[in-house]
Amino acid sequence: MHKNNAELRSFRKKLLTWFGQFQRDLPWRRTKDPYRIWVSEIMLQQTRVAAVIPYYERFLERFPDIRALAEAPEEEVLRLWAGLGYYSRAKNLQKAARQMVALHGGEFPSDRDAVHALEGIGSYTGAAILSIAFGQQRAVLDGNVARVLARLCAIHGDLREGRRWQSLQEKTDELLDTQAPGDWNQAMMELGATLCTPKAPKCLLCPVGNSCEARRRGDAEAYPEKREKRQAVDVLLAAAVLCDSRGRTLLLPPPKRDEGRPAADHVPTLVSGMWHFPTVAVRKNAARELDSYLGSALRVSISEANVEPLRKVKHSVTYRSVRVAAFRVRVAKLPKVAGARTLFLEELSSLPVSNLTRKIARAAESADAANSGDEAAARLLVANN
C-alpha cells in the first residue's frame, strides 16, 4: 500500500476529500448526539441503510432521548422495531439506556470502559460512537472496513480468523486520521458501502485506487476470500391461526428463554422473543403434531371439520431455513391462556411480532380472500398432511 509518512498523509487526504464531496446525506450524519449515533449504529447492524431510515426516524420521534427509551414499556420498543429483525438489538438498546440512567445520569458516557460495559455495545459500535460523537481516536473495524483493507493490502485467508482480525485492527489503527477520527471512520465505511462493494467494486472511481494492491493485480473481487459456509439447518414448524366465531385470533406472549418447552425447542429463537401464534417444532406429520401440542397446551383439538391448511410459509434466520405448515383452526371460543391476547388479524401490528408471524398472518389473510365464497372447498383432510 503506502510505504512512508508522505504516502500515508496523501492516502488520508484523498479519502477524506472524497468523503467530504460524495458522502450520502443520512439522518445520523447530521448530528453529533451520541444517543442518535448509537441508535443508528445498532439499527444498521445486519440491515440496509434504506430500510433503516424510516425506522430510525420513527424511533427517535417516540424516544427522543435516553430517558424516554429507558422508561418506555419494552413492548412498545419492540413494536417500533418490528420488521427490522434481530430483536435482541432492541432489547439490549433499552437495557443499555436503563444502565445509563442508573449509572450515568441518563447521559451517554464518553469513557471507553463505561461504553463497553453497556449492553449490546462491542468494540466496533463503541469505536464508532466514541470517534464520531466524541472525536476520540478509535478506529472501527467491521465487515465493510475489513473488506476494504483486505483489498488495499491483498490479504489472503479468512478475515474473521482470530489473528488475522487482530492484524486488520492494527492496520486500521495505523491508518486512522487522528485529526478527524470520526470522519475517517465514516469515510472508510462509506468507501466499503458505496465503491468497494462485495461484488463489482467500482475501482475506476475509487479515490485511493492508486494505493490498492488488489486493483494493481486486477482481481479486486477475489478479496476477501470466501469463508466456509455454515451448513444450513432445516427447521419445520407448525403454527395455528385460531379463529373464533367473530373472526378473532389468539397470540401468545413472548416466550421466556428459561420456560423449558421441550416440544418447541426452536420456537423461542425463531419468534425472536415476540408475540406469536401457537407454534411448535414438528418432525413429520405437521397437523397431527400440532393437534397434540394444541391439545396439551391450549386444550384445543383439530379435526377435518375445523382445520384449514394455509399456504406454506418459508423464512430464513441466519443459518436456519424454516418452513412453517400453518393452519387456520376454527373454534367456537378462543381458549383462555394466561397473558395471551385476543385480536383481529388486522390488529397484529399493535403488538411486537416477528416477520415470521407476519408471514403466517398474511397466509391466513390471503386464504380469506381466496375463500370468500367457497370456504368449505378449502378444507383439507388432516390425515393427508
84 binds ligand SF4 (CB under 6 A): no
d(CA 335, CA 339): 12
User: Residue 298: what are its φ and ψ, rounded to 5°?
Assistant: -125, 0
- Output the smallest distance, CB 142 to ligand SF4, in A: 15
Binding ligand SF4 by CB under 6 A: which of 195, 235, 251, 322? Answer: 195
Closest CA to 278 of 339, 235, 233, 367: 339
Element (H, E) at 341: strand 341-343
How many residues bind ligand SF4, per CB under 6 A? 14
- Output the smallest distance, CB 197 to ligand SF4, in A: 8
- Output the smallest distance, CB 167 to ligand SF4, in A: 18
Binding ligand SF4 by CB under 6 A: which of 52, 148, 238, 294? Answer: 148
96 binds ligand SF4 (CB under 6 A): no
215 binds ligand SF4 (CB under 6 A): yes
d(CA 76, CA 240): 25
Neighbours of 308 (CB within 10 A): 20
Binding ligand SF4 by CB under 6 A: which of 79, 138, 151, 328? Answer: 151
- Output the smallest distance, CB 204 to ligand SF4, in A: 8
Closer CB to ligand SF4, residue 49 or residue 203? 203
Closer CB to ligand SF4, residue 151 or residue 328? 151
Closer CB to ligand SF4, residue 3 or residue 230? 3
Q: Which stretch binds ligand SF4 (CB under 6 A): 198-206, 305-313, 315-323, 361-369?
A: 198-206
Q: Is 328 in a helix, a strand, or coil? A: strand
Identify the bridge partners of residue 276 per DSSP, sorted by sequence position: 252
8 A C-beta contact, residue 307 and residue 294: no
Closer CB to ligand SF4, residue 37 or residue 195? 195
Binding ligand SF4 by CB under 6 A: which of 60, 127, 206, 250? Answer: 206
Closer CB to ligand SF4, residue 139 or residue 238? 139
220 binds ligand SF4 (CB under 6 A): yes
Q: What is the DSSP string of 194-255?
A: HTS-SSS--GGG-TTGGG-HHHHHT-GGG-SPPPPPPPPEEEEEEEEEEE-TTS-EEEBPPP
Q: How far is CA 72 from CA 80, 95, 245, 271, in A?
A: 11, 11, 35, 22
* Residue whose grid cell is 432521548: 65
Instruction: Report residue 123 as a C-alpha cell.
Output: 468494540
224 binds ligand SF4 (CB under 6 A): no
152 binds ligand SF4 (CB under 6 A): yes
Active site residues: 41
* Residue whose grid cell is 375463500: 371
d(CA 205, CA 220): 14
Q: Which stretch binds ligand SF4 (CB under 6 A): 6-14, 95-103, 129-137, 144-152?
A: 144-152
* Residue whose grid cell is 448526539: 33
Angle at alpha carbon of residue 71, lines to 67 and 75, rounded to 5°: 130
Q: How far is CA 381 from CA 216, 312, 326, 385, in A?
A: 65, 16, 14, 7
214 binds ligand SF4 (CB under 6 A): yes
Closer CB to ligand SF4, residue 96 or residue 208? 208
Closer CB to ligand SF4, residue 18 or residue 81? 18
Q: Which stretch binds ligand SF4 (CB under 6 A): 34-42, 127-135, 173-181, 200-208?
A: 200-208
**Footprint of ligand SF4 on this chain (CB under 6 A)?**
148, 151-152, 195-196, 201, 203, 206, 208-209, 212, 214-215, 220
